[in-house]
Amino acid sequence: MRINKSWFFVFCVIGMTTRVHAKSIDWMGQTALAPTAVQGAVEWKNQFTFYGDNNEFFEPFRVRETLLGQQFNSFLDASIKQNVDLWAGAFVDHQSAQAVTTNIQPIFSFVYHEGGSQFIFGTLLPVYRHGLIEPMESTALEITRPIEYGMEFIQKDNFINLDSFLDWQQVLTDVNREIFDYGGSSRLPIWGDFTLLGQLHGYHVGGEQYDGIVRNNLAGGIGLGLDGNFLGSSTLEVFGLGSKDTNRPNYPGPAYGCGLYTKVLICPDHQWQFFGISWIGQDFISEEGDGNYNSLGTDGITYEPSRTYEELGVRRFVEIENGVTFDFELRSNWIDASWGNSFRFMAFVPFDVTVDNKNSKTN
């Protein structure tokens, strides 16, 4: 079962014909500066996250999966200098009611911030996968890897929106290869409602001290965004992407691949969003991207050089009170010649407590 692609083309045309001085849709897919404590204060920051994510995919490119659980992160944010914060705390993930283990990870970060610039060294708390789109990093990582360890630089001002990072996933030992990924996203207003978009993601497995495989995957590209006023706020994004994969054992495809990604978003208000995605790929592969966009299957054997993927969805985003939010997505997925569906629901409950503000000063 397949959608008539002319309907999707109409969707794109509607987005492209929207007009001037539109408002960007801030609450979907864009990165943000991490909140820091008031100067001189110590704040105890906490957030509960309740999540459920399910997909009904029967293709070999992305496995059928259900994620259900609860997460909690809690850390002290101490403003020790005018532009310097230190974080110390812990992150807890309980994946389901039946799980017998609970994942606990430390939070330790050095944060330097000035104006719209921010540098984080240590534990990272990425927002929307550092702004990376689905072919670059799967949306499942928002649940399965909500914290990372490495370095991140964020610039968010009227000139550019940039999120660049290095995430060290595994250190080199005599039994394990080193693994890290890196990259980021950028948004640069160029004229009127047009925005120049950039995407980059790299993945490295290697290490020089011990013999073993050394391989790399790199994907990236540029795009153009257009904000409009159709039925509220609307956005059209078109990306041309390329990939290079080297030294993957038994890899059946060529080293280079490419793809065209198009996404249309329409927001009648700040609570509803309707979106459509179209993808045409040729030998494209991104190590941590959504498998529905890759030419290589999850089994490492199945290979389809030419891929098509379409997605239509609706998202409901409800701000309840004091930062408490509920987020629900329902998606219909067309994967080459088959149909699937997926949904997600998440609730976020933050609460911050000022521990010591006797030395706080107004910025």
Residue range 125-150, pLDDT digits in tens:
998 899 999 999 999 999 999 999 99
Half-sphere exposure (Cβ direction) of 74: Cα atoms closer than 13 Å: 8
Which amino acid, residue 73?
N
C-alpha torsion 135→137→138→144, nearest 10: 170
Query: And the tokens for 120?
Result: 């984080």
- Grouping H, G, I as helix, E, B as strand and the rest as coil, residue 245 is strand
Write the DSSP assignment of 158-223 as a string of letters: SS-EEEEEEEEEE---SSS-EEEEEEEEEEEEEETTEEEEEEEEEEEEE-SSS----EEEEEEEEE
More confident residue, 59 or 118: 118
Residue range 250-267, pLDDT digits in tens:
889 999 999 999 999 998
Domain boundaries of the chain, sorted by first residue? 5-355
Residue range 288-311, pLDDT digits in tens:
999 999 999 988 889 999 999 999
Query: And the tokens for 172?
Result: 């080199």
Region 5-355: CATH code:
2.40.160
Query: And the tokens for 182?
Result: 């890196």
Interatomic CA distance for residues 238 and 12, integer angstroms: 10
Is the pLDDT at 101 greater than 90? The verdict is no
Model pLDDT, residue 25:
42
Range in 27-31, 235-239, 350-354 with the lowest mean pLDDT: 27-31
Interatomic CA distance for residues 259 and 223, integer angstroms: 12
User: What residue has token string 């290079």?
Assistant: 244
Tallying the residues shown for the chain, one arrives at 363
Interatomic CA distance for residues 201 and 101, integer angstroms: 31
Question: CB burial class (10 A; 0-12, 13-18, 19+) of residue 235?
Answer: buried
Interatomic CA distance for residues 305 and 252, integer angstroms: 10
Model pLDDT, residue 64:
84
Interatomic CA distance for residues 83 and 151, integer angstroms: 17
End-to-end CA distance of the chain: 58
Which amino acid, residue 292?
N
Model pLDDT, residue 29:
54
Interatomic CA distance for residues 51 and 154, integer angstroms: 27
- Pairing of the two strands 84-94 and 65-81: antiparallel
Half-sphere exposure (Cβ direction) of 304: Cα atoms closer than 13 Å: 19
Interatomic CA distance for residues 125 and 148, integer angstroms: 7
Residue range 138-194, pLDDT digits in tens:
999 999 999 999 999 999 988 889 999 999 999 988 888 999 999 999 999 998 889
pLDDT class for 359, splitting at 50, 70, 90?
low
> How many helical (H) and strand (E) elements, i.e. helices and strands, does the chain have?
2, 16
Interatomic CA distance for residues 344 and 81, integer angstroms: 40
Model pLDDT, residue 3:
41
How many CB atoms within 10 Å of residue 284?
28
